[in-house]
Amino acid sequence: MIKIAVLVSGNGSNLQALIDANLSGQIVGVISNKPAAYALERAAHANIATAVIEHKNFPDREAFDDVMHQQLLDWEADLVVLAGFMRILSAKFVKAWEGKMINIHPSLLPNYKGMHTHQRVLNTGDLWHGCTVHYVTAELDAGQALAQGVLKVSHHDNVESLADRVHQLEHLIFPQVVEWICNQTIQVTSEGVHYKNQILKGPIQFCHI
Which CB atom, from 158 or from 184, has the smaller least distance to ligand GRF? 158
Buried b (16+ CB within 10 A) or exposed e, 138-153: eeebebbbbbbbbbeb
130 binds ligand GRF (CB under 6 A): no
121 binds ligand GRF (CB under 6 A): no
Cα-Cα-Cα-Cα dihedral sign, residues 103, 100, 52, 176: positive
- Which of 2, 7, 12, 72 forms a contact with ligand GRF (CB under 6 A)? 12
10 binds ligand GRF (CB under 6 A): yes
The answer to whether residues 100 and 25 touch, using CB atoms and an 8 Å cutoff, is no
The answer to whether residues 25 and 182 touch, using CB atoms and an 8 Å cutoff, is yes
3-state helix, strand, coil split of the chain in percent (to 5) is 35, 25, 40
11 binds ligand GRF (CB under 6 A): yes
31 binds ligand GRF (CB under 6 A): no
Q: Footprint of ligand GRF on residues 138-197 (CB under 6 A)?
A: 167, 170
- Report how far residue 43's alpha carbon sits from residue 25's, in angstroms, rounded to the nearest whole number: 16
Q: Is 147 left (phi over 0), alpha (psi -120 to 50) or beta?
A: beta
- Which of 42, 69, 100, 105 forms a contact with ligand GRF (CB under 6 A)? 105
Distance of closest approach, residue 166 Cβ to ligand GRF, in angstroms: 6
Q: Binders of ligand GRF: how many residues, by CB under 6 A?
A: 13
The answer to whether residues 41 and 32 touch, using CB atoms and an 8 Å cutoff, is no
The dihedral over CA atoms of 129, 114, 92, 53, expressed in degrees to the nearest 10, equals -100
The answer to whether residues 32 and 97 touch, using CB atoms and an 8 Å cutoff, is no
134 binds ligand GRF (CB under 6 A): no
Q: Which residue is nearest to ligand GRF (CB)?
A: 84
Stretch that binds ligand GRF, among 6-14, 66-74, 175-183, 192-200 (CB under 6 A): 6-14
- Which of 6, 131, 181, 182 forms a contact with ligand GRF (CB under 6 A)? 131
80 binds ligand GRF (CB under 6 A): no
- Which of 14, 90, 137, 148 forms a contact with ligand GRF (CB under 6 A)? 14
Supply the residues annotated as catalytic: 105
**Interface ranges with ligand GRF (CB under 6 A):** 10-14, 83-84, 104-106, 131, 167, 170
